[in-house]
A and B are shown apart, each in its own frame.
Chain A
Amino acid sequence: MERAVSFRLNGKAVRVTTDDERMLLWVLRSDLGLTGTKFGCGEGLCGACTVVVGGAAVRSCSTPLKDVAGKTVLTIEGLGGARLHAIQQAFLDHNAFQCGYCTPGMILTAYALLEKTPHPTREQIIAAMDDNLCRCGTHVRIVGAIEQAAGAGKAGA
């Protein structure tokens, strides 16, 4: 149904008037021009489109716009500011990317994990990240980066 949907996107109020059954991924990328969120599979099977909604990592390709009405949405563009977020910095320090296409989804999945579980075990990291696919095979570095980011959080707490 075509209607105005309001939510907070990367800290700012936005209002989009469109068919509210449309998937958030396309509204972000096409209507709002935020291309950091990637299309990978369209069926919630790869994690490239992951964004954080109300603190949880969700697949934006399978999340209708109406589901985020009144909620907060964080995309890669909203993470960090003048300085990189600790997770971005850790990905950078570990070279936890190659082609970089899955990277925004990886970073946001890790962000949601650390929000909920600031000091995850390696097993918890693997479980949280397991449905995010990376074809370049940077997994070992991503795990290392998340461990670093979690450690940095510990030091700062």
Chain B
Amino acid sequence: MAAMDLSRRDFARVAGGGLFVFFHAEAARAQEPAQIPGRVAVPSDFNAFLRIGEDGRVQCFVGKVELGQGAMTSLAEVLAEELDVAYDAVDVVMGDTDLCPYDMGTFGSMTTPLLVPVVRRAGAEARAVLLAMAAERLGAPADRLRVKNGVVTDPARTNSAVSYAALVEGKRIERHLANIPVKPVTQFQVIGHSPRRKDALEKVTGKARYAGDQLPAGLLHARVLRPPAHGAKRLSVDTAEAEKVKGARVVHEGDLVAVLHERPDLADAALAKVKAEFDAVPAQPDEKTIFEHLLKTAPEPRVVAQGGDLAQGEKASASVIEGTYLHGYGAHAPMETHTATAVMENGKVTVWVSTQAPFSVKNQVVRGAGFAPEQVRIIARYVGGGFGGKTGADQAVDAARLAKITGSPVQVVWSRADEFHHDPFRPAAVLKIRSGMTAEGAITLWDAKIVGSGEREAKPFYAIPHQRTVSAGGWQGGNPPGMHPFNVGPWRAPSVNSNTFGRESHIDVMAARGGFDPLEFRLKNLTDERMKRVLQAAAERFAWQPAKAPGGRGVGMACGIYANSYNATMAEVAVGKDGRVRVKRVVIALDVGVVLNPEGLRQQAEGCVMMGLGYALSEEVRFQGGKVLNRNFDEYELPRFSSLPAIDIVLVDNPRTNALGGGEPPIIAMGAALANAIFDATGKRLVELPMTPAHVKAALG
């Protein structure tokens, strides 16, 4: 009964009794693709709904996906709050294209700012409807009634209780969101109190089922033949030996060559027996030549922001400083590789997929596997990490195609080498900045060119009278062919890790050149009160001692904005002679508006510290001739327990700003904060991420 596929009447028939409130996250809708091939009978007036059933349980249906970020929990929390029901009585149904109305995908820190406000209003609407019904039932004015745990009582009379369940029994009531006011922050009872995560029990008992944990009867595990290099074309294939493997089945249809077996490991073994020749790929950049290559191949830059007059800025500057900052490609490396399990039944295919965007994967399967939209259901119940890398799902197309061809359920699981090779990497980037300042340290000029990373949050938030930022290429596509040797895409806080690294490194270079303390220099050039506040909050917790860098202490800071959330990060490092950087402690002060779930936000921020250590210090994608050379975790170093610094997250109270997302903003300043701390420790400025031991050692000389 997806909004995309079923008319309202069909929806009403399938969904059963109870009270329904249909609602819309407007801003999310604005980004819905206007033309989805084969869309039918779209009730376009809602993209989420909640239902209060005759058992008194509250169900909320949204197309977002639980990736580990805790959306399932925070949505349940706000509904419990607005409806005055127990948190445990709320079920959030996510990521199922047949049960949930359209959603564009789970990324960009949008669930909290865009969906949460409407979910709250829907809860308030449902509560108002139920109160009106209770008023009639109890013969009392609605404004006199009280609700607790889904039971309405009239304080003026004893024995006057009626439950939500009893009120909706035998009825079917539909409402569209009206303008019912939500609870003021001061009356929150659930929000802000961090209840137990909805997914906790299933995850600690191993019962949480991911796409690869679906084992329908007759399941075949498929391994798809893939080219050894990006851009390589298959010249010949010989599957004779693979076909001799007991129980193996080979499918060769057009571009698709796959080996299937009822045991996944035996499918692997059979694939290894497929002989194939591929053509040679023309010369491609490697991880050392990529930056020159990007500068040569980038499209015409676009002006992202400008103000004042650069020539005047130049004149007003006592000193002008130029810097170039580089950021290599980054892999998402989720612990769960791309996975899909497809089951055909009565001409319809259901695919359990590890994806952040079930509705766009649905379109992918419709187009790629030749189904009508009403024949495809995508379910993303639990996903083993995404970080931006699971928006597309080629494996779902392969699984659906193979299920159609064989008539058996088919599971496709990428190997770890596949995962590294076919990852839509965070693009490599070059940031060139030319800036000027007065002798007193007022920034007068900022002329920045960004190549590769994309323009998100590229505009400097410092008060600079004469400035211009241009950007060429990015993670969102539109890059000229040949600019990147493989696919690129969004990676946790897309654009912003690279752009923050460039800007905040350069700010520190300027502070050092002018002889200013890095905090003082930033505050001197800021008028944005939210940014000043997070910097001061971080400095206080960190016990920042003003000094000009390099001071030999190994401390550094950086700050940034992502999706209107503010972040100030401070770090302390020790740098070994071997170039190893040990991060001793990290303090991050965050202003994400109203904090719905402080515990959930801390989890996200701690996770960002760890993932930030990776992109800053160790995660280096190596490639040559269109081949990604990192094949497994021994060749791509993720942060580990032994990398764990002391982490201190400061949540800066800001009740005046609506709740914002917290899964991405905390990561953005890690690269620059660590580069600045390394400079403070050693006097050497590292201008390229990741700052691997080899790079650091080379810089130390």
Contacts and interface: CB of A to CB of B under 8 A. Distances in A.
Interface residues of A, number: 58
A101 B384 contact: yes
A103 B256 CA distance: 35
Interface string A19-56: 00011011001110101111111110110100000000
6 closest Cβ pairs, A-B complex: A36-B206, A137-B610, A99-B68, A101-B384, A98-B68, A76-B206
Interface of B: 67-70, 196-197, 199-210, 212-213, 215, 221, 262-266, 333-337, 382-385, 387, 413, 415-416, 599, 603, 606-611, 632-634, 638-644, 647
Given A101-B210, A137-B606, A137-B610, 13 more contacts: A30-B263, A33-B215, A39-B212, A39-B264, A95-B200, A95-B603, A99-B382, A100-B202, A102-B335, A133-B638, A135-B638, A136-B611, A141-B603
B640 A130 contact: yes
Contact of A135 (B201, B215, B416, B611): B611
Given A38-B384, A101-B384, A26 B263 contact: yes
Contacts of B608: 137
Nearest to A22: B265
A40 B416 contact: yes
Binding site of A, secondary structure by majority: helix, strand, loop or mixed? loop
Contacts of A95: 197, 200, 599, 603
A65 to B, nearest CB: 10
Contacts of B634: 43, 45
B207 A36 contact: yes
A103 B208 CA distance: 10
Interface of A: 22-23, 25-26, 29-31, 33, 35-43, 45-46, 48, 75-77, 79-80, 84, 88-89, 91-92, 95, 97-104, 107, 125-127, 129-143
A130 B607 CA distance: 16
B685 to A, nearest CB: 27
Nearest to B219: A30
A26 B416 contact: no
Contacts of B633: 41, 43, 45-46, 133
B580 to A, nearest CB: 15
B316 to A, nearest CB: 44
A99 B686 CA distance: 33
A80 B416 contact: no
Contacts of A80: 205
Nearest to B643: A139
B95 to A, nearest CB: 13
Contacts of B69: 98
Contacts of B609: 137
Contacts of B208: 100
A31 B385 contact: no
10 contacts: A22-B263, A35-B212, A39-B264, A76-B205, A97-B68, A98-B607, A99-B384, A100-B202, A137-B611, A140-B647
Interface centre among B205, B382, B385 (most CB of A within 10 A): B205
A131 B205 CA distance: 21
A97 B336 CA distance: 14
B206 A77 contact: yes
A3 B323 CA distance: 66
A92 B335 contact: no
Contacts of B207: 36
A139 B213 CA distance: 25
Given A29-B264, A39-B413, A100-B208, A135 B640 contact: no
Contacts of B413: 39
Contacts of B415: 42
A100 B197 CA distance: 12
A99 B204 contact: no
Given A76-B206, A92-B196, A98 B335 contact: no
B195 to A, nearest CB: 11
B70 A98 contact: yes
Nearest to A2: B246
A138 B197 CA distance: 14
A48 B215 contact: no
Nearest to B69: A98
Interface centre among B197, B210, B383, B384 (most CB of A within 10 A): B384
A24 B642 CA distance: 28
B210 A139 contact: no
Contact of B265 (A26, A37, A45, A99): A26
Given A98-B70, A100-B199, A107 B641 contact: no
